[in-house]
A and B are shown apart, each in its own frame.
Chain A
Amino acid sequence: MNYKNSNLLYIFLGFTFTLLLSCNKSFLDTKPSTQFAESDVWSDANLIQLNMNSIYTQNPWSFSWTSLSVDEARCYDGGNDYNMSNMLMTPDNAGWGDWNGRYRAIRDCNVFLENIDKLGDDQALIDGVTLKDRLKGEATFLRAWYYHLLIKYFGGVPLITKSYTLTDDFTAPRNSFAECVQFISDECDKAAALLPLENTGENKGRATKGAALALKSRILLHAASDLYNTAFPGFSNPELLGYVDGNRDQRWQAAKDAAKAVIDLGIYGLYQPNPASAEEATKNYEELFTSKQSEEDIFIRYFSASVNQGADFWGVFPNGFGGIETNGPTSELVDAYEMSDGTVFSRANPAQNIEPYKNRDPRFYATILYEGAKFRPRPANLQGIDPVGVLQVGTWEKWDAEAGKVTYVYGLDSRNSAVYGGGYNNAGTSMLKYINRRTDMYVNHQDDLTWRYIRYSEIILNYAEACIGLGEDVEARTYINMIRKKAAMPDVTESGDALKERYQNERRIELVFEDHRFFDVRRWMIGPEAYHPMHGVDVVYKLNPDRTTATIPIITPVEITTGKWEDKAYFLPISRDEMNKNPKLVQNPGYN
């Protein structure tokens, strides 16, 4: 290399280095290309609304939800449900209540409420309120909603109303039950003042004034219930699990007023309150849960197959119709339905025992599929076996003349089904409520569904229960009988404890599979009635002496799961991890 050339080289290198070094500062400073920066979100009304949507998406639901953990339904295989039925809950297998999930949603509400004022004011009214008020109202309501989901499981929980940053002290003690109820109730009032009475157009499905007032009704009814007005024996922090002072009658009165406030809005009604016949009542009840909208809807969530966001019915469809039927109604639930004349069903009554599914409360036929109940057409290849399309969980004893012995033919929806034997339920029944009979599992698992978190019937029942609590039996009966009438059932006429008992069964039937029973048996402190060995039915079409097969099956209750009750189950355990991370927490009784 000669001198001249190497000089040129140095010049070139110097140039390149200068190029590389010169723009180094800004060169590395990039912005995410597929994510929005925080400042962009909170200055844009559209993005803020999309952020609100994400708080809605965290609202849980499921067809079986708490049914499998109480006496509504059973599924063959379920670790947590088994543990609950057998009182094996511990802080080490705690998953009930989804503590972490709820608090993530609560944090999103907190962030939302801290930032929403960055949105500029716009006085334009949509459905009678400004956008900012509506959004504040929604966040306020949803935060109260998520807290209510928590306290139903745990009693008082830490009330966290600010969003943490990474350097904060995260430990927080549980607030008392009374404080939590007060918070939820106050927040509902705040939200009700901000939210529209009704949403129209694309805002349908958002929270309304009615939703906020209805949540208040629900939480105040909880607050007045036995569980929160009875000290848990031997527990050092009774304030976490209920009231330690004050007047219970005032709580009943507050619950009554809160329910009445919803009723007095005058915009809700019972769906088809005056059916002409039992058949019509059955049809109405089924329609209510398969309809997209109804006058009962107070707080709902839509699922729509047309935008590929339908509800997946595979889990609850009978296995001979393409599903796996995980939510098998128990014999205990079946037996809780009254006869259509309002008398109690009894296995001890021979006629009722032989044909248990005959002449029952009309709602039964819209809620539960049982042996021989008509459902929907079978797929083409099975129509030869079952041209009508009925639930088949039974076993047929048939005489095989050639072999000279009995053979067994198993129903298409039984666990020995030739179609699909993997059904998860051995209850001998399948859930019908919510299921649209037109849904064909062999075409699409998804279908439309309107999930009703709160519907008007609950408010009517809440009102009636508060009246009973106050000793206002006449008023209570009036409202209970509205629900009875809607179901084409005769009026209740009882008073006092007998009325309370009728009421409790009415609520159990009307709101079955709607995430109420699990909490109601706790509120009412009737755990032992709901937790014990659970039964399904064994259905056999017997071989007659003349070697023909009976057409009416023998239906025998059989134990399908073990079960028992311990009082610790009135409240659920906080997970050991959470306890250890937050030393200020106190564990619920029975879990230490």
Chain B
Amino acid sequence: MDNSSNITLNALLNYDRTFNKHDVKALFATERIAGDNMNFWAFRRSYTSEILDELDLGSNALKDNGGSSSVVRRLNYFGRVSYAYDSKYLAEFVWRYDGSYIFDPVGKQFGFFPGISLGYRISKENFWKDNISFINEMKIRGSWGKTGNDRIAPYQYLTTYGYNGSYVFNESVSEQALRALRIPNEGVTWEIANQSNIGFDAQLLNNKLTISADYFNNLRTNILAYRNASVPGSAGLNLPRENIGKVVNKGFEFQVSYLDNTGDLSYQVSVNGAYSKNHIKFWDETPGNPEYQKSTGNQMNARLYYQAIGVFIDAAAIDKYPHWNGARPGDIIFKDVNDDGKIDGLDRVRSNKTTIPTFTGGFTIDLEYKRFYATILFQGAAGAERSYRTFSGGPGVGNFMYNLVKDRWTPDNPSAENPRAWERGGAYWMTDGEPNNTYFVRSSDYLRLKNFEIGYSLPSGYTEKIGIQSLRVYVSALNFLTFTKMKDFDPESPDDAPGSIWVNSQVYPLNKTTNIGLTVTF
């Protein structure tokens, strides 16, 4: 049973006026959100009869109940003033002043988030019309704005205690355990994103060609993160979130499409793409870590890996190169990154890639020729990596990829690309499911023919003779072709299945689907 009341009160003042070529709009608004949620559940099992379903009539032996509640309070003021002159010069100022119950009432609840955007339809200028007439429409625009984020667990400015497990006394008396949930951070407040962007929209060649492009530079500051990289375990703290991170995310996106027809052929071709890469300007760092392991300067969530540089051919090869204690022929060679003559945690290097691609793009073609038609969609991504690993079954050896097995190191095949067969727990280069080195991390760049379809519609003259209004035959395919170096896994699939060896649904390769179809309308 849920008892929720979520009341949102809005008040808006709107002003809209046009005089001569001036167009002025203004909005002032306030919003008050109050949510009170309560839920309660109870059950009994073992009803003797199905006729009456009252809670009270079930068995006394099998019954339980529970419940919880939460509150939400937000108070936001926001507004907008926009001005346009002759639909040529456009300017807008927006602002928000947001209050959130998540933060400390003493000065941390409210954040001010202004923004400004400007536009210039340069193609409306006479000099443009007179001189650059092949560009029918050209608009240049830019914006800058701040937004706030408070989506974290509430009350981190307080020390609160919650129930956490229970303990048994006197053989069988269960008592609850109450534990401090975290130490407080009185200073916790809004995370801020400064978003700026500049771009243009254009239409050319009698509006056949449309181009739009944007460059953006977003700076997130006061990022709400845990300071667990620098606070030692001996402090014993359950850390609260703190406003400690600073990350810049820069990139561009574009879309170009061309639409035309010649004779019986009509076609549309479009290309789109986006590039973005983030870069940590400030992050909590473990003080003793070497430079090449720092998060700062890298992408967010970039991981540390040992650098796999091959497989030990034999015992002599092991003697020749620094190695992990207990290394055997067929083991993966880790690079001695700091040249100290031994392999240890200092030889891990922060990856310059993450599981998120830096470039994504697509390419579509639509064709129609007389009664034939075709659509083709390619998509691709680049700049990401994902783990290539096995999910082991029972104890000892488990399930292995054929691709890892077939050219694996054996005494008879010592110069193999892949390491020897290993037990799940034993190898230093394969710790329980988590890849710790670059051998198990591979580029997931791909280009994929996601979808294509060709078809033909029979002339209605023919079909009507046999009582059919229209008849269309087609062949279509999904995921028909993929160009990638990532074997066995779908390069589009998420990387984060670990933790559970059962989450296999995410890692199975995609189905390739081919359809041959006939659409008949009577």
Contacts A21-B30, A33-B69, A302-B172 given; indicate if A579 touches B288 (C-beta within 8 A).
yes
B166:A57 contact, CB within 8 angstroms = yes
Among A50, A54, A168, A204, the residue within 8 A (CB) of B170 is A204
B180 touches A56 (CB 8 A): no
Is the Cβ of B396 less than 8 Å from the Cβ of A41?
no
Residue of B nearest to A584 (CB): B232
Chain A residues, Cβ within 8 Å of B168: 205, 301-304, 307, 309
CB-contact partner of A307 in B109, B174, B179, B431, under 8 A: B174
Mask, A80-108, CB within 8 Å of B = 1, is 11100011101111000001100111111
**Interface residue? A3 (CB, 8 A):** no
B466 within 8 A of A: no
8 Å CB interface, B286-307 against A: 286-289
A515 CB, nearest partner CB in chain B, Å: 19
Contact with A along B168-197 (1 / 0, CB 8 A): 111111111111110111000000000000
A264 at the interface (CB under 8 A from B): no
Residue with the highest number of chain B CB atoms closer than 10 Å, among A47, A92, A105, A423: A92
Closest chain-B Cβ to A450's Cβ sits at a distance in Å of: 8
In the complex, the answer to whether B169 meets A20 with C-beta atoms within 8 Å is no
Contact B170 A35 (CB under 8 A): no
Which of A159-167, A365-373, A485-493, A502-510 lies at the interface with chain B?
A159-167
Q: Is the CB of A32 within 8 A of B154?
A: yes
The answer to whether A202 has its CB under 8 Å from any CB of chain B is yes
- CB neighbours (8 Å) of A16 from chain B are 11
Q: Is the CB of A103 within 8 A of B235?
A: yes
**CB-based nearest B residue for A302:** B168
Task: Report how far A168 CA is from B240 CA in the complex, Å.
Answer: 14
Inter-chain CA distance A164–B160, complex, in Å, is 16
Complex contacts, A104 vs chain B, CB 8 Å: 236-238
| Chain A residue with Cβ nearest B9 | A20
- Tell me whether A166 and B70 are in contact (CB under 8 A): no
- Cα(A100)–Cα(B239), bound, Å: 13
Interface readout for B346-362 with A: 1 if CB under 8 Å, 0 if not? 10000000000000000
Query: Per-residue 0/1 for B225-264: is the Cβ within 8 Å of any A Cβ (1 yes, 0 no)?
Result: 0000111111111101010000000000000000000000
Q: Are A37 and B325 in contact (CB under 8 A)?
A: no
CB <8 Å contact, B177 and A50: yes
User: Which chain A residues lie closer than 8 Å to B432 at the CB level?
Assistant: 79
How far apart are the CA atoms of A213 and B326 in the complex, in Å? 43
**B165: Cβ under 8 A from any A Cβ:** yes
Say whether B71 faces chain A, with CB atoms less than 8 Å apart. yes
- Contact stretch, chosen from B78-86, B368-376, B420-428, B467-475: B420-428
Residues 37-68 of chain A: 1 if any B CB is under 8 Å from the residue's CB, otherwise 0? Answer: 11001000001011101101100000000000
The reply on A580 being an interface residue by CB < 8 A is yes
CA distance A52 to B465 in the complex (A): 88
Contacts of B499 in A (CB 8 A): none
In the complex, the answer to whether A13 meets B181 with C-beta atoms within 8 Å is: no
B94-125 residues at the A interface, CB under 8 angstroms: 99-101, 105, 109
- Whether A100 lies near B233 (C-beta < 8 A) is yes
A4 interface residue per 8 A CB criterion: no
A498-B74 Cα distance, complex, nearest whole Å:
77
Of the stretches A23-31, A124-132, A186-194, A235-243, the one at the interface is A23-31
B155 surroundings in chain A (CB, below 8 A): 32, 35
Question: How long is the Cα–Cα vector from A103 to B491 in the complex, in angstroms?
Answer: 42
In angstroms, how far is the closest chain B Cβ from the Cβ of A179? 15
A442 at the interface (CB under 8 A from B): no
A35 lies within 8 A of B181 (CB):
yes
CB-CB nearest in chain A for B231: A170
Which chain B residue lies CB-closest to A169? Answer: B235
Residue of B69, B70, B238, B288 contacting most chain A CB atoms (<10 Å): B288
Cβ of A103 and Cβ of B171 under 8 Å apart?
no
* Contact status A17-B325, CB under 8 Å: no
* Cβ contact within 8 Å between B178 and A41: yes
Contact of A201 among B158, B163, B170 (CB under 8 A): B170
Assuming the contacts A41-B161, A302-B168, A309-B166, asked whether A36 and B286 have C-beta atoms less than 8 A apart, the reply is no
Are B11's CB and A35's CB within 8 A?
Answer: no
Q: Is the CB of A106 within 8 A of B236?
A: yes
B residues near A13, Cβ cutoff 8 Å:
11, 13
**Residues of chain A contacted by B238 (CB below 8 angstroms):** 104
* Option from A79, A202, A424 in Cβ contact (under 8 Å) with B431: A79
Interface centre among B179, B289, B324 (most CB of A within 10 A): B179
Within 8 Å of chain B (Cβ to Cβ): is A546? no
The residue from B32, B185, B231, B242 contacting A581, defined by CB atoms under 8 A apart: B231
Q: Contacts of B11 on A, CB cut-off 8 Å?
A: 13, 16-17, 20
Using A79-B425, A302-B168 as known contacts, say yes or no to A35 and B69 having CB atoms under 8 A apart. Answer: no
Docked complex Cα distance between A577 and B348 (Å): 13
Please, how many angstroms separate the alpha-carbon atoms of A87 and B175 in the complex? 42
CA distance A13 to B167 in the complex (A): 58
Minimum CB–CB distance from B61 to chain A (whole Å) comes to 13
Inter-chain CB contacts under 8 Å: number:
247
Kindly state whether residue A158 has any CB partner on chain B within 8 Å.
yes
Q: A57-B177, A205-B169, A581-B287 are in contact. Are A37 and B160 (CB under 8 A)?
A: yes
Task: Say yes or no: is A7 at the interface (Cβ < 8 Å to chain B).
Answer: no
A474 contacts the other chain (Cβ, under 8 Å)? Answer: no
Asked whether A90 and B172 contact (CB < 8 A) given A21-B30, A581-B230, A581-B231, the answer is no
A76 within 8 A of B: yes
CA distance A176 to B324 in the complex (A): 31
- Chain A hits for B101, CB < 8 A: 28-30
Which residue of A is nearest B346, CB measured? A576
Complex CA gap A110/B180 in Å reads: 12
Contact, CB under 8 Å: B179 / A32: no
Contact, CB under 8 Å: A50 / B176: yes
Contact of A583 (CB < 8 Å), options: B166, B287, B324, B344: B287
Question: Do the beta carbons of B171 and A77 come within 8 Å of each other?
Answer: no
**Do A171 and B232 touch (CB < 8 A)?**
yes
**Contact flag A90-B325 (CB < 8 Å), given A307-B172, A581-B231:** yes
Q: Is the CB of A28 within 8 A of B75?
A: yes
A41 vs B164: C-alpha distance when bound (angstroms): 14
Contact of B288 among A56, A88, A166, A583 (CB under 8 A): A583
A578 at the interface (CB under 8 A from B): yes
Residue of B with least CB distance to A101: B233
> A51 touching B179 by the CB < 8 A rule?
yes
Q: Are B344 and A424 in contact (CB under 8 A)?
A: no
Question: By the criterion CB–CB under 8 Å, are B30 and A20 in contact?
Answer: yes
For B159, what are the chain A residues with a Cβ–Cβ distance below 8 Å?
A: 37-38
**Given the contacts A77-B423, A100-B233, A581-B287, A206 and B169 also touching, CB distance less than 8 Å:** yes
Residues of A within 8 A of B88 (CB): none
In this assembly, does A315 line the interface, its C-beta being within 8 Å of a C-beta of chain B?
no
> With A13-B11, A32-B160, A302-B171 known to touch, is A582 a contact of B100 (CB < 8 Å)?
no
- Name the B residues within 8 Å of A53 (CB-CB): 166-167, 175-178
Q: Is the CB of A77 within 8 A of B425?
A: yes
Contacts A578-B232, A582-B232; is A90 near B165 (CB within 8 Å)?
Answer: no
In the assembly, what is the distance between CA of A247 and CA of B30, in Å? 78
Minimum C-beta distance from B96 to chain A (A): 15
B345 on the interface (CB 8 Å rule)?
yes
Other A-B pairs beyond A49-B175, A583-B288, 14, CB < 8 Å: A20-B11, A30-B71, A50-B178, A51-B177, A77-B395, A110-B236, A158-B234, A164-B183, A201-B170, A205-B167, A302-B170, A307-B172, A309-B168, A575-B233
Q: Can you list 13 A-B pairs with a CB-CB distance of less than 8 A?
A: A27-B32, A37-B159, A50-B163, A51-B161, A56-B177, A90-B325, A103-B233, A106-B236, A164-B237, A201-B170, A302-B170, A577-B233, A577-B286
Name the 10 nearest CB pairs between A and B, nearest first. Answer: A107-B236, A580-B288, A100-B233, A54-B177, A79-B425, A35-B160, A50-B178, A92-B345, A77-B395, A307-B174
A: residues with CB less than 8 A from B are: 13, 16-17, 19-21, 24-25, 27-30, 32-38, 41, 47, 49-51, 53-54, 56-57, 76-82, 86-88, 90-93, 99-100, 103-108, 110-111, 157-158, 160, 163-166, 168, 170-172, 201-206, 292-293, 301-304, 306-309, 421-424, 448, 450, 575-583
